[in-house]
Every structure is written in C-alpha cells, then in structure tokens.
Amino acid sequence: MHHREFPEDRLPVLLKWHESEPVTEYELHRNAAIAEIQRNRNPPIDHPEWAREIDFSGVWP
C-alpha cells in the first residue's frame, strides 16, 4: 500500500480556500443524498463554521 503524507503547513491554505468558497445548494443537496445512503453527513458542509474548530493534530504522521 502506498502512503502519502499531507504536509501540515498546507492547512492554512485549505482553511483559506474553505472560507473563500461557501457551501453551495448543490453541495447541500449532495450531502443530504449521500447521507440517505451512508447514514452519515459531512460536517464541514452542514457546519462550515466548524472548520477552524476541528483538531487536526495527529492527522499528519
């Protein structure tokens, strides 16, 4: 299995992108449709304001 690391220094770039691209109606509907099948939701779609509250420590090896 191939393991790829995501450099932790890229987190600020991802958060900036997340905040500059608001959740669309399409994404809201897609999230709901996927939740019907998988029985789980995508929290950053439902609550974009949580992105800066997520603890990403330990995500990077």
pLDDT value of residue 13: 93
Domain containing residue 37 = 23-54
Q: Which pLDDT score is estimated for 5?
A: 66
The Cα 47–Cα 44 span in angstroms is 5
Q: Is the whole model's pTM more than 0.85, yes or no?
A: no
Instruction: For residue 33, name the pLDDT band (cuts at 50, 70, 90).
Output: very high
Average pLDDT for 8-24:
91
Spatial contact of 27 and 45, defined as CB atoms under 8 Å apart? yes
Quote the CA–CA distance of 10 and 20 in Å, as a whole number.
Answer: 16
Domain-embedded: residue 50: yes
Number of domains making up the chain: 1
Say if residues 51 and 45 touch (Cβ distance below 8 Å): no
| Residue 5, domain member (yes or no) | no
